[in-house]
Amino acid sequence: MAMTRALTTADLVLSSPPVSRFPLLERLGPFAAAGFHGISIQPGDVWALEAQGMSAAEIAGRIADAGLVITEMDCTACWMEHQTRTEQAGGLTAFLRQLTPEPIIATAARVGAQSVSAIDLSVEPASLDEAAEGFARLCTMAADHGLKAQIEFLPVGGIRSLGEALRVVEAAGCGNGGITLDAWHFFRSGSTLEELAEVLGERIHAVQLCDAPAHASADLWSELMTARLLPGEGELDVIGLVCTLDAIGCTAPAGVEVFNTRQDTMPLAEIARDWARSTHSLLATARTPA
């Protein structure tokens, strides 16, 4: 099995959901060839291969042999009792209720992922007490397997902004708890770079870069899932975001997550090259002294 190195802020991580139409093993070669060194995977990626008879050790071995580190299992979506009672955004209620902590964390541990993410797509938010209790339970379960846990806030969900996510993480009080910072979610939620500048860098466990026009679409859910742009292609201050993350001491590698329907007919290698080219260019601009 190939040895993998510790990732740095200069490394790229494939956030897999936008390319989930391609089976997991098909993603490895093109993204590794494009210069990615990490991959965030979904539990269904692993379960599909296990159903075909491949062991978790074999799956982990194939990923490592491609030179990729599994940074994250994406995601738990039913980690509060509230989520079993309320409807979920995007008509995903039944599917999301299957994504409970126990199987997701166990799957992450089987393949050697470093962390597990948590989302809340509830139409109505839970109380802070309930969210903190649920996240603390998730963090404790993850810690039992040596994993970190992080909340990915979404403006279309129940935990909608950086500030809301931070309050849950801080109230939970777990050392392995943190946040996934997705550029689209960050800017579309109205979160600010000034707020981010006050966050401890170690609280940001994962970063997902993309871009978008300056003004939001009337249908946020549609924009979220179909119309994000490559980093540097839009009008969001993604350079400022990178600079702020660097300034607070965030050590998470640069994840890339671009949902856009124009990719639906593109070869995977072309998608990988586009993501790598645009993200490396943006990082270089952000990190070049004025």
What are 248-276's pLDDT values in tens digits?
999 999 999 999 999 999 999 999 999 99
CA 136/CA 142 separation, integer angstroms: 10
Residue 279 has pLDDT above 80, yes or no: yes
Tokens found for residue 167 = 């309050």
Confidence (pTM): 0.96
* Among 277, 272, 280, CA closest to 68: 272
Q: What is the DSSP letter of 211?
A: B
SS3 assignment, position 60 = helix
Contact 160, 189 (CB under 8 A): yes
For the segment 198-239, what is each residue's pLDDT rounded down to a tens digit?
999 999 999 999 999 999 999 999 999 999 999 999 999 999
